């Protein structure tokens, strides 16, 4: 899939907090989009590992980048399989919160990416060693597996980060990519469903401007799903 990113000067339409995040993590891909533009991370936003942050560009960032990664569509069956493995590994910690039979059914869907590829955009974060360290599936239109409750929304599902890469900003970067892709597609909202035990993810969603939308709530056995959405046309 070709990227919809366009290169424009890195200082345009980039909030300072987002610039700090991308300097710290070192991602290339869609850093942020606003007013119909997307920005391909480059210049002062992303630097290679070992290059210190400059006080001229952002005095709040002083550490050396440990990783350099790219966010894009899964490009091969191997990356699709790896995305499934990352998803299964990332969600394993939530097993104790759900009834065993319910979890067994849900867990069987986590490594299966074929339907996500067919019906949505299976995105991966790939590190400097070409290893998949994170993944998310974005649905720009309602599909049987998308979980849409409003047909005009974009929806994302299966946001996951490899456990040994947590804390590096991978999940945040994947979510920013989804926001960009949805804006570029002309969507007015980006929505998701999550569960109360996923407290770290919920905190990230709220920090990025997502708010509760109870019309997306549902209960499936021991799974209590809560709807969240972010307006993209503001």
3-state SS, residue 142: coil
Dig out the tokens for 55 from the structure: 């006080």
Crossing angle for the helix pair 170-184 and 199-207, to the nearest 10 degrees? 50
CA–CA separation, 134 vs 29, rounded Å?
Answer: 14
Cβ atoms of 89 and 46 within 8 Å: the answer is no
Could you give all domains of the chain from N- to C-terminal order, each with its CATH number?
Answer: 69-231 (3.40.630.30)
Tokens 């991602």, residue located: 27
pTM: 0.76
Q: Report residue 68's pLDDT band, with 50, 70 and 90 as the boundaries.
A: low
Res 122: pLDDT: 97
91's enclosing H/E stretch is helix 77-91
Minimum mean pLDDT range among 3-12, 176-185, 186-195: 3-12
Dig out the tokens for 58 from the structure: 């952002």
Q: Could you read off the pLDDT of 170-188 as tens digits, one per residue?
A: 999 999 999 999 999 999 9
Q: Report residue 48's pLDDT band, with 50, 70 and 90 as the boundaries.
A: very low
Three-state SS for 41-66 is CCCCCCCCCCCECCCCCCCCCCCECC
CA–CA separation, 191 vs 178, rounded Å?
Answer: 10
The CA-atom distances, in angstroms, between 50 and each of 47, 62, 66 are 8, 11, 7
Cβ atoms of 184 and 4 within 8 Å: the answer is yes
């Amino acid at each position: 899939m070709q990227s919809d990113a366009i290169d424009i000067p890195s200082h345009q339409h980039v909030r300072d907090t987002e610039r700090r995040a991308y300097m710290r993590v070192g991602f290339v891909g869609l850093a942020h989009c606003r007013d119909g533009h997307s920005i391909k991370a480059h210049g002062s936003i992303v630097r290679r590992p070992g290059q210190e942050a400059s006080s001229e560009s952002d005095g709040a960032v002083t550490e050396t980048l440990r990783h350099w990664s790219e966010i894009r569509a899964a490009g091969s069956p191997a990356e699709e399989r790896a995305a499934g493995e990352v998803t299964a590994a990332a969600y394993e910690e939530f097993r104790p919160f759900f009834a065993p039979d319910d979890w067994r059914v849900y867990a069987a869907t986590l490594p299966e990416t074929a339907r996500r590829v067919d019906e949505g955009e299976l995105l991966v974060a790939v590190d400097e060693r070409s290893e998949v360290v994170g993944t998310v599936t974005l649905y720009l239109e309602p599909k049987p597996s998308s979980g849409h409750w409003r047909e005009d929304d974009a929806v994302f599902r299966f946001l996951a980060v490899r456990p040994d890469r947590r804390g590096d900003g991978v999940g945040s970067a994947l979510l920013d990519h989804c926001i960009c892709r949805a804006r570029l597609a002309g969507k007015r909202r980006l929505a998701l469903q999550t569960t109360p035990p996923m407290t770290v993810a919920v905190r990230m969603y709220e920090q990025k401007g997502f708010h509760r939308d109870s019309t997306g709530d549902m209960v499936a056995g021991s799974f209590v799903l809560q709807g969240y959405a972010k307006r993209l046309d503001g």
